[in-house]
Amino acid sequence: MRITGFDYQRVPVADGVAVNVAVAGTGSPIVLLHGFPETHLMWRHVAADLAADHTVLCLDLRGYGESDKPADTGETYSKRSMADDVVAVAKAFGHDRFALAGHDRGALVALRAGLDHPDKVSHLAILDVLPTLDMWDVLHGTTAAVGFHLYLMAQPPGLPEQLIGAAPDAFFGHFLDAWTQRGDAIPADVRAAYLEASRNAVTSIVADYRASAGIDVEHDQADRAAGNRLTMPLTVLQQDWGAALGYDAVALWQAWATDLDHRTVTSGHFMAEESPAEVVKALRDLLTR
């Protein structure tokens, strides 16, 4: 499936790796990164609105959708490597500086891009995640069961891939159902596209998650120790996970950012599909800061 009105290109981003990019619009650029278990299609409503006055680039992250799925060498699916992909894509379209929004896994990539490439990222939006380092810290006791997939895919290569690969539609479909409040937010054809894409990417999706239990933590720890912070305007949209898991979401983000607008939403996890107007407003507000 494709986003209506968008052109598609495969853009080389690293040796032997190209990513699928949908592009439309003119004006200042904004890059949109999808989450799990989805593809760039999750931005279809938001992207169409923003393309009225911005150049909008929607990527399939490496390892997802129609982008390449290289074998994991230990750093292949680090958020640092994936953030470098984003910078390479923007450059390929002639943009040395751009706004960046990410949801879920894409939000972790966006966060890393903001930390590693502050000269490239003019504005940053994060949808419904915590920084990797904080995510592991807030999961404890029985409440951590909500993140069971994080622990499963953190295991060494072999078992997670075998278990998920034995029933991929049941596994990935669980999250599409459990994390959505509005049943009509993800139509049947879009859901089928997500399941097919995920079914064909079990190994690389697991590698992405495994990196967040290893090398991504190391990178976050190094930034925390060095006192590195996000210096561009940052908007965070989150469900009220702080109340559910017992932490102060605003305080956690303030430790990482110097210019924070934190908003709690009432929609489910897939807010760009459940409440696209709310997400568009937040992004447009961000771009004026």
Residue 123 annotated among the catalytic residues of the structure: no
Catalytic residue among 49, 60, 85, 104: 104
Residue 53 annotated among the catalytic residues of the structure: no
Catalytic residue among 40, 103, 219, 269: 269
Strand partners, 262: 236
**What is the set of active-site residues?**
104, 269
